[in-house]
Amino acid sequence: MAAGVIGAFTAVLRRELRLAARARAEWLMPPLFFVIVVTLFGLGAKPNDPLLADFAPAILWVGALLAALLTLERLFRADYEDGTLEQIFIAPAPAIAAIAAKLSAHWLLTGLPLALLAAPLAAALGFPSAALPALTAGLALGTPVLSLIGGFAAALTVGLPRAGVLLPLLVLPLVTPIVIFGAGAARAAQSGLPADAPLYFLAAVLVLGLTLLPWATTAALRNAFE
Amino acid sequence: MWTWFHRLASPPTFYRLADRLVPWLGLLAAGLLGYGIFGGLLLAPADYQQGDAFRIIYVHVPAAALSLSVYVLMAAAGAVAVIWRIKLAECVLVAAAPIGASFTALALVTGMLWGKPMWGAYWVWDARLTSELILLFLYAGVIGLNQAIEEPRAAARACGLLALIGVINVPIVHYSVEWWNSLHQGSTILKLGRPNMSADMARPLYAALLGTYCFFGVALLRRVQNELLLRERGTAWVKEQLRSAHV
Amino acid sequence: MSLIAVENLAVARGGRTLLRGLDLAVQAGEVLHLRGGNGAGKTSLLEVLCGLRVPLEGAFRQRPEPQALHWLGHKNALNLALTPLENLGFWCGLNSVAEDALLPVLQRLGIERLRHRPCRTLSAGQKRRCALARLLLAPRPLWLLDEPLDGLDAQGLGLFAQLLAEHLGRGGAAIVTSHQPLPPGVPGVREWQLA
């Protein structure tokens, strides 16, 4: 059985990466969107406003969150519509292996680039370079939770003709702790305080999310067949 | 025990039981709320610091308590609906959401009104006010999801899953917001041992609190009854019920 | 011995009960051809039998293991951006099935020349053949097929009949929905009209 689980996980992961390689524009959209949002914040403020550095944690976190939302709607939609999801649920390996692979792929293709992009963007906003590790660590711990919660919300709305506005409505209240702790870690580091407390909280939330959300997502997808 | 549970969960049995419960609960709610409001607004002495402004707690505290309790109830009903697929639990979940959202909105509005004289602004980024706002969004998500999915049973189970994840999230949100910032005054009645509220202020508050729970019971039972009629339309017991009600 | 058996099954979809009190059993070497108008509940019944949908009432007397059944929905489960080879290779990985059989199977279904073309460029019948290829990639005794003849040309129908006959000859069984009669050459067909 274990071999079946690993086989299903790698099969789905390989397929997701292959699909991403075939539709590159789609996965370049979130990082590009992230850059644009941050640029617009810069343009909305006074030129070289030093206050931007103070707001950098909030700007970067909200930007990353909104960028991660962009690709969510399509996460399960295509597989639901073309019947692949049925094959995943019929297969002998537990469906959660395949679902976990899809969530991992979403993080690899959306969350990870955003986390890596945050440091240069933060520097552009005048964020102190000594605090960059805390910011990046926060995003590295927080973006997987965004993928998990986002995947759960996408699974709840997979059968709907248009998830549209509903998806952010479901995701945003659930991710508030992530934004608070993530931006909090960056702010703490920015003012020279230790950032480990909020980072530990982020890690705890990530562990909790990893334990619960793949199951909840699988249940939500199964529910969509009825 | 289980057979009793199953009989209670059967729509016609529950429908008739609700019919019998509603008048008593309603009476109880009216009495308790009447005393709570009267006692709170007229009998209780004014607060030595806050003057008469504190009297909003007779609405604010019950509404805030209900906003959380209803969400927990929704999550419990959601668990039953998701695991055992019991129709009654689906109805309870779906019926409770708008009531809970209303209490949350009421708690927010009264909190803001109270905040104006106390903090000098309608909105401050205080821990409990902020978590209450996020709770309102969580309710909005459940209501929106339920309305978006056409198949009612699938919609209720999806809402159940959402409420379950949401209820785990509520304490995390609360804690994170508290960590983030706190201006709110400490909890007044839940401090056991050393109550910092005089008895003639507290008695109407407890009455209003209990009365609001009873009122919620009435509203919930009536809404669940409507859900049941809607979902079971076409079955024999609904037709009989409607015939006996001369509809 | 029956490969699948249910009793007193009730199937609902969208809050409406479509079928009630259904007893059904399929023996090795038998094809059950489900017929009925649109909305009679054929697809919902198949979804219950393959385990995708929970029945309203009733129980399985004999429930096939996931390794023992093939499900072919009316959707082909092909990603249009991927080629037939990639789509079927993914299915093999998902089911922990060796990929060696891929090429011979594609040859058997007459689509080996298309194997490197993205599925979006294939015709409806060619995509249906790709989906049918899964039936041969792993030998499984029970086939549950929803409108398998959709889009197939005359030659495809003959091929399908051949594959089904061979499957039955090896002791397999199938439950098939189809609006058109099954092509000639399939032995042991039992028709079942759903009200």
Domain identity same for C9 and C44: yes
C57/C145 same-domain check:
yes
**Residue C96 within any structural domain of the chain:** yes
Question: Which pLDDT value is given to residue B194?
Answer: 46
* Residue numbers of A between 68 and 127 with CB closer than 8 Å to C: 78-79, 81-84, 86-93, 98
> B231 CB near a chain C CB, below 8 Å?
yes
Backbone angles phi, psi at C59, to 5 degrees: -150, 160
Same domain, C58 and C43: yes
Closest-CA distance of chain A to residue C161, Å: 24
Phi, psi of C44, deg, nearest 5: -60, -40
- All chains having 3 or more CB pairs closer than 8 angstroms to chain B: A, C
Amino acid identity of residue B63, one-letter, is: A
Q: What is the mean pLDDT of residues B11-38?
A: 93
DSSP string covering B52-111:
GGGGGHHHHHHHHHHHHHHHHHHHHHHHHHHHH--HHHHHHHHHHHHHHHHHHHHHHHHH
pLDDT in tens, B178-212: 777 644 445 555 444 444 677 778 889 999 999 99
For residues C5 and C58, state if they share a domain.
yes
| Residue C135 located in a structural domain | yes
- Dig out the tokens for A199 from the structure: 């980072």
Q: Chain B contact for C154, CB < 8 A?
A: no
In a domain, C72, yes or no: no
In the numeric block, which tokens belong to residue B61?
A: 């505290």
Determine the distance in angstroms separating the CA of C14 from the nearest CA of chain B, rounded to an integer. Answer: 5
Q: Check whether residue C172 and residue C124 sit in a common domain.
A: no
- Model confidence at B23, in pLDDT bands (50, 70, 90)? very high
> For residue A184, what is the enclosing H or E element?
helix A166-190
Range of the domain at C96: 78-139
Ordered by start, the domain boundaries in chain B are 15-187+209-244
Q: What is the pLDDT of residue A70?
A: 87
Task: Kindly give, in sequence order, each residue whose CB lies less than 8 Å from that of residue A32, ignoring residues fewer than 6 positions away.
Answer: none
Report pLDDT for B184. 45
Residue of C nearest to B149 (CA): C14
Average pLDDT per 10 consecutive residues for chain C, totaling 195 residues: 90 84 92 90 93 90 90 94 96 93 94 94 95 95 94 94 95 93 88 84
Q: Under an 8 A CB cutoff, do A166 and B161 touch?
A: no
Same domain, C177 and C193: yes
The CA distance from B83 to the nearest CA of chain A, in Å, is: 10
The DSSP annotation for A8-58 comes to HHHHHHHHHHHHHHHSHHHHHHHHHHHHHHHHHHHHHS-TT-THHHHHHHH
Cβ-defined contact of A169 to B172 (cutoff 8 Å) = no
Tell how strand C31-35 and strand C142-146 pair up: unpaired
Q: What percent of chain B has pLDDT over 90?
A: 55
Tokens of B225: 């009854």
Are B152 and C54 inside 8 Å of each other by CB?
no
* Residue C71 within any structural domain of the chain: no
With CA atoms as reference, the chain C residue closest to B230 would be C15
Instruction: Name the packing angle between helices B87-119 and B57-84 (round to 10°).
Output: 150
Number of domains in chain C: 2
Query: Whole-prediction pTM value?
Result: 0.92
Which among B127, B125, B130 has a CA at the least distance from the CA of B108? Answer: B130
Same domain, C149 and C160: yes
- Which CATH number do you get for residue C37? 3.40.50.300
- Which is more confidently placed, B216 or B122? B216
Q: Is the pLDDT of residue B6 over 80?
A: no
Residue C117 three-state SS: coil
Enumerate the residues of chain B whose CB falls inside 8 A of the CB of residue A181.
Answer: 176, 179
Strand C57-62 to C31-35 pairing: unpaired
The single-letter DSSP state of residue B43 is I
C26 contact partners, CB below 8 Å, separation of at least 6: C2, C3, C4, C5, C32, C142, C173, C174, C175
Q: Between A156, A173, A177, which is nearest B158 by CB?
A: A156
Under the banding of pLDDT at 50, 70 and 90, the label for residue B77 is very high
Contacts of A154 in chain B (CB under 8 A): none
Q: What is the pLDDT along chain A (226 residues), one digit of tens a residue?
A: 566 899 999 999 999 999 999 988 888 999 999 999 999 999 998 888 888 999 999 999 999 999 999 889 889 999 999 999 999 999 999 999 999 999 999 999 999 999 999 999 999 999 999 999 999 999 999 999 999 999 999 999 998 887 778 999 999 999 999 999 999 999 999 988 888 989 999 999 999 999 999 999 999 999 998 7
> Which residue among C73, C76, C95 places its CB closest to the CB of A91?
C95
